[in-house]
Structure 1
Amino acid sequence: MKKQKGLTLISWLVIIAIVLFNGIIALNIVPVYISDHSVKTLMKNLEMDSTVRGGTAKALKQAITKRLRINNVYSVSKEHISVKKGKDGYLVKIKYEPRGKLIGNLDYIVTFKHEARIPA
């Protein structure tokens, strides 16, 4: 009698189901992290940008919102952006929670928080 080599049909179906489930999760969550990378890059560039220095908190918030729209980041709105004046400039905080559907009634929530100091 020969011993079986390889996987059975049921084993293959289980492996394919696991791979498909992980693929669906990745297709839904990876874009969220890609847009967060854009937010992180924007905040890093904002600290070094001389055009935003010396303005008001409202102008700074509008500049951030405009740059987010240029980068196609629509999960961050004006309500998620906080600008506070300090001794040496402004402290900008972006805190947001993108939400979405995975499968059926299974949803995801991802929390992000970024800070930047804008010199006066």
Structure 2
Amino acid sequence: MTAASQKGISMLGALVLLLVLSFAASTAFRLVPHYLDFHALQRVITRAPEAVQGAPASPAEFYAHVTRGMQVNGIRDLDARSILAVRRQDNQFHVHLKYERRAALIGNLDVVVHFDRQYRVRAP
């Protein structure tokens, strides 16, 4: 190969690169909000004992705390009672957060993210 034939990426190579980068960006734009919601839910759950108005004492109060936290964080399309299982045992809440989210990607191709996490939160 001569130096004249090595001038950079070809037009076809540039289009393929643009296609791959566009697909990756599109996928990221659809996934990132779901992960941000999940991390906001984690913060609400783990910081329940530090709540300003006092720590929740019963599972019903815990659900109410999480629902308020979801409203504050702009998570409006999830129901706390359908994604959480809360039970109190001794001086701890055992919380099981489990749900999945779907986002349309291209045509009939969807991206599915599944969240399944368990927490032990100190109770008053």
1:106 aligns with 2:109: yes
**TM-score, scaled to structure 1:** 0.85
Seen in structure 2, the aligned counterparts of structure 1 residues 96 and 47 have a Cα distance that, compared at 3 Å, is: farther
Seen in structure 2, the aligned counterparts of structure 1 residues 119 and 56 have a Cα distance that, compared at 3 Å, is: closer
**Which consecutive unaligned segments of at least 5 residues does structure 2 have?**
none
Question: Counterparts of 2:85 and 2:120 in 1: how far apart (Å)?
Answer: 11
Question: Counterparts of 1:43 and 1:58 in 2: how far apart (Å)?
Answer: 14
1:12 aligns with 2:18: no
Contact 1:91 1:118 in 2 (8 A): no
Greater Cα offset, 61-70 or 15-24: 61-70
Contact 2:103 2:112 in 1 (8 A): yes
- In structure 2, the partner of 1:116 is 120
Aligned residue among 13, 23, 26 for 1:24: 26
Aligned residue among 97, 110, 122 for 1:94: 97
- In structure 1, the partner of 2:55 is 52
Give the letter aligned to residue 86 of structure 2. Answer: V
1:84 aligns with 2:87: yes
3-state DSSP of counterpart to 2:76:
coil
Q: CA RMSD in A?
A: 1.9
Question: Counterparts of 1:66 and 1:94 in 2: how far apart (Å)?
Answer: 16
Give 1:75 deviation, angstroms.
4.5
